[in-house]
Amino acid sequence: MDIDIPGLLLATETMAQSIAMTKGVSPRISKDDMLFDFLVRAVFTTDQKKAVEAYFNGGEDCANRFAALVHEYFPSGPKNVLEFASGYGRVTRYARKVLPRTEWMCSDIHPQAIAFLSDELGMPGAVSSTDPARWSIATSFDVVFALSFFSHTPDKTFAAWVARLFSAVAPGGLLIFTTHGAVSLAHMRANGRQDEFDHRGYYWNSNSDQRDLNPEEYGTSAVTLPYVQSAVAPLNGAELIRFQQGFWWGHQDLYVVRKPKVA
């Protein structure tokens, strides 16, 4: 389907400005934002203007949910957060609003997304990689947050990415991430797919909301709790302190992994 995303953004610019003003965030949506593209092409196909409202409302809901979650573990708020696979800032634009005393950094596979976050949102960032062995970051963080990244990660890099992101967590800090799980897979079957976990508790197909990425490196995955436990178990001192089925959007599972404090 041929859709003029820049034209749609121009036509809805006043609407976006009005919504963003009430929320106290930037009104800018990048023309390259594949999540917005997905909302337009796959979700709001009969009324594309609703994608703008959903973009801002959904980002705000995720930011509020994340802030409430981290305050359970850091009542005064974490010192710093790394948002991994941050995209073009659907959630990031609310960072200073929901966690005003927290330093926030982003990482994403798209260099143009990191540039947009810096230029439009004033948010520091670093380009990531398809290969976890080639990704590193100098700073350690109270919280490393990966929303709906592991719901698209192939089996060959899943455990390696868990380990690599955990390495960026400061002592006493948390790795927080979501995955598709049993609830998500049930939704897929309800839509006519014949989808099941394999013997390891892993499922994969090559479809995703990111049309510009290699479908063999970024598709749609779903995992069970034992599968994630097997990825966390080899990590020195890692403690899976929370698993909550269907926590995010009513279908993605939540995982919270804690790194021990230095003795």
pLDDT score at 25: 97
pLDDT score at 188: 80
DSSP 8-state secondary structure symbol assigned to residue 208: -
Spans of all domains in the chain: 5-258
Contact between 48 and 8 (Cβ < 8 Å): yes
Rounded CA separation 88/216 (Å): 22
**Beta pairing class for 202-205 and 220-223:** antiparallel
Which residue ranges in the chain fall short of pLDDT 50?
Answer: none
How many Cβ atoms from other residues are within 10 Å of residue 176's Cβ? 23
5-258 fold: Rossmann fold (3.40.50)
The 10s digit of each residue's pLDDT in 139-161 is 999 999 999 999 999 999 999 99
pLDDT score at 208: 61
Rounded CA separation 12/255 (Å): 37
pLDDT score at 212: 65
pLDDT score at 263: 67
